[in-house]
Structures are given as C-alpha cells and as structure tokens.
Amino acid sequence: MRAVRVRALIVAPVLALTLALAPLGGAAAQDFPSRPVHFVVPYAAGGSGDLLARLLGNKLAGIWGQQVVIDNRPGAGGLIGTEFAARSEADGYTLYLATDGPLTIAATLYKRVPYDWKRDFAPVSMLAMGYQALIVGRSLAAQNLQELVALARQKPGELNYASIGIGSAPHLGAELFKSVAKVDITHVPYRGSSAQAIAALIAGDVSMFLVGTSTAVPYIQSGAVQGLAVTSSHRVQGLPQVPTFAEAGLPGVDVSIWFAVLVPGGTPAAIVGKLSADIAQVVADPEFKNALAARGFEAQASAPEQLADFLDKDYVKFRDLIQKLGLQVE
C-alpha cells in the first residue's frame, strides 16, 4: 500500500505540471517570432539557394515584423553549414535551407557525417522545386535523346559527360540517366562552377552535361548548346521546345533539384506548424511564384509530414544509386 501511495505522490504533480505546460507551446507559437530569425544557408552568397533564402526571408520578415538574417556558411559541400544548423538551439529562431547534397545524399556518400539528418532536423515545408536539363554541344552528332542513346551504344565508353564533382547533382543525375538508358559514358568532373563544365561542353571537350534548368535556359535560348530533355514530368517554363525524358522515350530519369526549410530537431511542434503555415502563405503569393519561375523554379509548399515522407524517399533513391555505383568519399 505504501508503494502505491508514494507512486501516486510522484505521478500526480508530474501530470499536473504537464497539463499546465501543454498550452504554453501554442502560446509561444502565437508570439513567435519576437526577435530576429537566422536563416542558415550552407552555400556561398549568390547561388540559387542563397537567392531563394533571401526571397523567402524578405517575405517572412514582412509577415512577422521581424528581421530574417541570412547566414551563409559554405564549405565541404554544404556539410559545414548543415552541422552548424543541426547544433543550433531548437527554438524556431534558426531556420535551415535544405537540399539533397548535405542531407539525403551525404548520408550514404560520405564515410562520416557529423550529424544525423533524420534525428538532428525537423521538416517544416518544401520551398521550391527545380529540374535538370540534358544539354549537348552543337558539334555532337545527336539532335535528340534517342540519337544520343544510339550514339552512346555504338561507342561504349567513348562519349563523356561533365559534372561539378563526385556526388554532385549533375553527377548522380547523369549516372541515373546512364542506368536507365543502359549506356556507358565516361565521367569528367570539374571542380568548380557549372560555368566551367558548360565552357568545356561548348569547346567540345565533353559530350553532355545534366544541369539545373535555371542554369541551362540562357545557353539553350542563345543557341550555344542543344537541350535534349528535362527531368520534370512536364515541360518547363522557358524551355517549351525541350521535351521531358518521358516524352523523349526514356521515363524514369526523374531527378529534381529541391529546396526545403528545416529546423533543428526538438523544435516545438506548435512553432514548426506556424512556420509551415507562414511559408505556405509566402509560396501562395503570385509575386513570389513569378520570382521563382523566372529563375527556373516552381514554388511549392508542403506540410511537415509530407516533407518527411519526401525526404525518406529521396534518401532511399540516392542510397540505392550510390551503393550501386560504389561511391564513397572520406
């Protein structure tokens, strides 16, 4: 009897405290944010991710009446900024601009990663979706995707493709294309920007390059390169003449370039919900949509649960591809 009485004395105050604190999460979310919010971008200023973060930050600052400070922390393929965000206070005042490289790809590609992408982050909302375009030089004897595949099969290992490094989106996207098309094309990594790879393509040093549509559009429109296919399920704005891979007869090359907003794991659910709702409000803004469309992106929002499901599937897709290729970075 005494043991039961002691247990009751312990449990009752704890339960009362839990019930008393329960409404505080919602109250804190209603008052959030009450000071400036930091938005960690794991890449240098001037790139697509940085631009998207600044566009979103400006809109959120207008909704909140609080400054959104863009905190660029580039290095190690995004791992440095990502680790910083993962170790930040889980109070909603640190946002993180996520994409596949440091998260769903790094988890398999790197031998050691200083954080756990599922444990150390909480999904908030998708932000933008972009796609890749397969471009070839004008001197290549292939006017469409089927001709490129046929040429590659006639000359196994003789054609080559550019990337911006092992494990980068252009690298893995091209390897997925090779796998689906069942062709042997040699990888030529360029340690730098996409501009270097495109310059090599125009010069005839490489045969093809799978790159983000926002980068490819001006080169295709100017006639400097040919666009053979895009990885989206529909034709993209700015490239109405370029078919999708499925339209060109090669379904399954579904590589997307996505950006999402995450927060450190353990951030209160009420604050995550408010952040998600506010981002959805921004994404629905026609001005924001048009600003992204002009840069080759589609504005997209999602519930935290939807984003979690997307990240799980993205991780599995790249895990299987990386393991198949036998890639590993120290």
In three-state secondary structure terms, 98 is strand
Segment 292-319 shows an average pLDDT of 93
Residue 230 is predicted with a pLDDT of: 96
Q: How confident is the model at residue 175 (pLDDT cuts 50, 70, 90)?
A: very high
Instruction: List pLDDT tens digits, range 4-20.
Output: 444 444 445 544 544 54
CA angle, corner 136, sides to 135 and 142, nearest 5?
120
Of 3.40.50.300, 1.20.140.10, 1.10.10.10, 3.40.190.150, the CATH number of 36-130+256-325 is 3.40.190.150
Residue 12 is predicted with a pLDDT of: 52
- 279-288 own/partner pairs: CB under 8 Å, 24+ apart: 279/56, 279/60, 279/124, 279/125, 279/127, 280/125, 281/63, 282/56, 282/59, 282/60, 282/63, 283/125, 283/127, 285/59, 288/55, 288/56, 288/59
Residue 2 is predicted with a pLDDT of: 43
Domain boundaries, the chain: 36-130+256-325, 131-230
Q: Residue 248: is its pLDDT beyond 50?
A: yes
Q: Residue 27: is its pLDDT beyond 70?
A: no
Residue 26 is predicted with a pLDDT of: 62
- The answer to whether the 36-130+256-325 and 131-230 domains have the same CATH topology is yes
- Where does the chain show beta strands of DSSP type E? 37-41, 68-72, 94-98, 121-137, 160-163, 186-189, 208-212, 225-230, 256-264, 298-299
- Record the pTM: 0.81
Q: What class has domain 131-230?
A: alpha beta
Which residues lie below 8 Å from residue 163, measured CB to CB, with a gap of 6+? 170, 171, 174, 187, 188, 189, 190, 197, 209
Residue 46 is predicted with a pLDDT of: 82
Higher pLDDT, 220 or 16: 220
Instruction: List pLDDT tens digits, range 32-91.
Output: 999 999 999 998 888 889 999 999 999 999 999 999 999 999 988 899 999 999 999 999
Segment 136-145 shows an average pLDDT of 94
